[in-house]
Structure 1
Amino acid sequence: MKGPFKVQCWLKKLYRHGPRFQRHFNTLKHTQSYKPEQLLAYQSKMIQKIVLHCYQHVPYYQDLFRSLKLDPHTIQGPKDLEKLPLLDKRTVQENYDRLISKKHYNFLCNMGTTSGSTGMPGKFVRDFDAINFEHAVVWRHWRNAGDMGKRRVSLRGEIIVPASQNYPPFWRYNPANRELQMSSYHLSRDNCADYIEKILDFKPQVLYCGPSMGHVLAKFFRLNQVDYQFDAIFTSSESLDPEVRAYIEDVFQCQIYDWYGQAERVAAIGQCAHGQYHIQEDYSVVELLPAPESGLYELVGTQLYNYVMPLLRYRTQDFVEMRESVYPQMACACGNYFRKVERILGRSYGYLLTPEGYHIAITAHIPVGVDNVIETQFYQEKKGEVTLKVLTNGNFTESDRERLVFNTLKHTSPHMKVHVMEVDDIPRGPNGKFINIINKMESLN
């Protein structure tokens, strides 16, 4: 399998980092230092193009513009987007086929799926150009932090080896990215010595991880009294608590550069070298929808590059506390004029603990493809046992239940005890956020 995997790595890199990637990357090196008036002009130009495309080629928007009696040419810039209604995940689900462009759908497109922080499974299509643009934006974030293609180790939730495997190696090498991809599923007290030994042998300079897995890895290094220093750590996919950040940075003696995004690709926030979180204003148009009485804002994003399934004014259901809600008049020390974010309350993941002691932080794969499920929450009180609370559409079948159990065993452990409980409601956590995993256990049991 090593040969086919290596070929797959190089083909994926070619697909994501070809001439289009380089063209976008070169443009983004300039737009990151645009002044507010330049950013507005840039966004306005891109909005006009994608709105006209929606009107001409996307059935959902064609009907929407007709029903509103709205001329697409009247939408000239970010403020004019308010003429359109907000779009949410349920509307996307119900109108999936009608949101696909009749002009741009082709075999180079990529399907993204998510259960996300809302617990509601969703699927989204991106075209070839949008995929290359996405990677150019992310690579800019990495390059600005000093990663020019350094040796890296990643703990990002991918299925590296089967969940049932109980012996090393729990990793594989991606030669295209000089990356050691390590299994998040098998990182446990019993296996941590193997992970530490491999990392010391590989000598990576950069760590890519979700905060929860980075936190667990740091605890195992400290527990085993092993010192190691990275040049930088890049976190994403989950909210990064200040205490977790401080612990990881102390153990690995370097700075964390955090990143926020979502499968829908409608908004991105990156942390610069000076510690400031910035909305990536050249990535999309981000509106800030005030949350009543909380002082927070919901992120509402409009895509600028995805022409196969464009999302206009999409509600992320992720919230932020802003440092400044309008473009600043003075550039950040990093050189950009992007709005600053004080705190992201996007995603708050816990983890599940398997009978083998593995920590499962990513559960997005589990409800995908299961019919009649609206939301899923994972609740654990005992090691090796989990309850799936599911909110259904009223047509939930025994086959759906069996598929949920099968998927859970596949993505956690074949020895996991799984209960499926239909519920009428799944209560939200603080600030109205959905909590995907609730774990009542101690972190390193």
Structure 2
Amino acid sequence: MIRQYIKETIKFIVRSKPFIMSEIKEIERLSRMNEEDMYVYKEQQFLKIFRKAITKSKFYKQFYSDAGITLDDIKSLKDLIKLPILTKETLRLNTDLIPTVPKWQLISAKTSGTTGTPLRIYHSYRSIKKEQAYIIKNREQRGFLYGSPIVSIRGNLFKSIPKLKLHLSNTLYISSFNLKSDNIEDYYSEIIKFKPRAIEGYPSSLYNLCLYLIEKKLCLTIPIAFTSSETLNRHQRDLIEKTLNTEIFDYYGTTERSISLIETMDHQGYIENPGYSINEYFENSIVTTSLIKERFPLIRYEVNDNLKLEDPNLKTPIIKKIEGRKEDIVIAKDGSRIGRLDHIFKGAKNIENAQIIQEEKGTLIINIVTSKGFTEEDKNIIEKKAYDLIGKNNMTLRIVQISHDQLLYTASNKFKFVISKMHK
């Protein structure tokens, strides 16, 4: 526990406000820019990153040479679309060739592996500071002042450490791996004593916390909740906000730090963080160019998530929905691709949690965690809603009752509502 305490304290110090004030001031400057000035800024940053990549990165030199791209071919932001798209698989195979500086100057990181094999990437200290500056500004704008008490239920702590209070950051870490019915009252007492202004966590972790609180007829009042790293489903938002008497602000980003979206103040969608990246929105993916990563450049990097724009013609896009990853889509017998399967459980009674698994085309296993009042009628309602959504002759369903412990999570305890092996 002491080692973890020291580790988390050091992580906090190097990202703390005094160390990143210049980055915070830069974000404040970007936030005040009009559309024309922001375009100029993005163009300048893009050209700077591109020129460094094509001259300093072993990978990009070859990647662009193979595509017939030279340094002189890219002179403005309009030329961005001339560049080839960088896929996750290409990135995976060439990670060590991408840096524009020696690797000892970078910090290695891995994605959680929610879509399969974890991806190893690199960050510079400067990009880490920029990322943290965006987080601090976003949270301050939504009512959470830096240094206020916050409960964190993410992947920081593993099974061996049930909780950890970090005094310097005023954070109470709770291990999502250890949340259970038989210890929820202890966690409840710790949170009450801590008097948090906010709580952060994966949607599934906060949802599980609330299920156990409801089971014990307990509730909390925590003014603000920050969710990230998983798709936030409607039923999760409703239960969390009611049980914690809170207001959720969801965040969308990637471990690669190529895109950053924050939920609007009125909860009508998501907006881009100013100057963070250049994003090209397509039907089943986003192609992103990070403007905060010069030493490990990600230029026209494909992120396989489904984002729906409010109006594709707006210069400043508003993202209406984050519908999940390509891997969250199931494939019916007729080949149609179906998402937003959480609608199957909207209004369903006596269902505490669910997970959908597809191993082959046209077949679904719907695993459900039920409460005591669950009946065959409840099961039939779920089946009917699923068939209404997908088509009765278009999918073979198997509904299986399981326990909480049988739900599948990643190594970092992230929950995937849909696990599709069709994309492996």
Whether these two folds match at TM > 0.5 is yes
Alignment-mate amino acid for residue 310 of structure 1: P
Post-superposition offset of 1:150: 1.4
Alignment partner of 2:141 out of 135, 139, 144: 144
Pairing 1:172–2:172 present: no
Pairing 1:317–2:315 present: no
Output the TM-score relative to the length of structure 2.
Answer: 0.75
**C-alpha distance in structure 2 between counterparts of 1:194 and 1:278, whole Å:** 38
Pairing 1:308–2:301 present: no
Q: 1:197 to 1:120 in 2, by over 3 A?
A: same
Post-superposition offset of 1:281: 4.0
Check conservation: 1:118, 1:317, Cα contact below 8 A: no
**C-alpha distance in structure 1 between counterparts of 2:134 and 2:75, whole Å:** 24
Match of residue 440 from structure 1: none
Post-superposition offset of 1:46: 0.3
SS of the residue aligned with 2:282?
Answer: strand
SS of the residue aligned with 2:116?
Answer: coil
Q: 1:266 to 1:48 in 2, by over 3 A?
A: same
Count of residues paired in the alignment: 349
**C-alpha distance in structure 1 between counterparts of 2:259 and 2:132, whole Å:** 14
Alignment partner of 1:200 out of 192, 196, 217: 192
**C-alpha distance in structure 2 between counterparts of 1:235 and 1:268, whole Å:** 13
**C-alpha distance in structure 2 between counterparts of 1:86 and 1:29, whole Å:** 31
Check conservation: 2:124, 2:293, Cα contact below 8 A: yes
**C-alpha distance in structure 2 between counterparts of 1:180 and 1:386, whole Å:** 26
Residue correspondence of structure 1 range 33-112 to structure 2 within 5 A:
33-101=32-100, 103-107=101-105, 109-112=106-109
Alignment partner of 1:252 out of 244, 257, 273: 244
Alignment-mate amino acid for residue 318 of structure 2: K
Ranked by relative contact order (alpha carbons within 8 Å, sequence separation 6 or more), the top structure is 1
Post-superposition offset of 1:345: 2.0
**C-alpha distance in structure 2 between counterparts of 1:19 and 1:76, whole Å:** 37
- After superposition, the C-alpha distances for 1:304-335 in whole angstroms (9 at most, x for unaligned) are 1222221111111111011123445xxxxxxx
What is the CA RMSD across the aligned residues, in angstroms? 3.0
Q: 1:189 to 1:94 in 2, by over 3 A?
A: same
Check conservation: 1:151, 1:178, Cα contact below 8 A: yes
Q: 1:242 to 1:61 in 2, by over 3 A?
A: same
Post-superposition offset of 1:280: 2.1
Give structure 2 stretches of 5+ with no counterpart.
330-340, 342-352, 356-364, 368-399, 414-419
**C-alpha distance in structure 1 between counterparts of 2:218 and 2:139, whole Å:** 27
Give structure 1 stretches of 5+ with no counterpart.
163-168, 292-297, 329-337, 351-358, 362-377, 389-406, 413-424, 429-433, 435-445
Name the one with the larger helix percent. 2
Alignment-mate amino acid for residue 323 of structure 1: E
Check conservation: 1:323, 1:341, Cα contact below 8 A: yes
Alignment-mate amino acid for residue 106 of structure 1: W
| Runs of 4 or more consecutive aligned structure 1 residues displaced over 4 Å after TM superposition | 347-350, 378-388
**C-alpha distance in structure 2 between counterparts of 1:135 and 1:309, whole Å:** 17
**C-alpha distance in structure 2 between counterparts of 1:323 and 1:106, whole Å:** 43
Post-superposition offset of 1:161: 4.2
Post-superposition offset of 1:40: 0.8
Output the TM-score relative to the length of structure 1.
Answer: 0.71
Q: 1:325 to 1:184 in 2, by over 3 A?
A: same
Check conservation: 2:157, 2:174, Cα contact below 8 A: no
Match of residue 324 from structure 2: 346
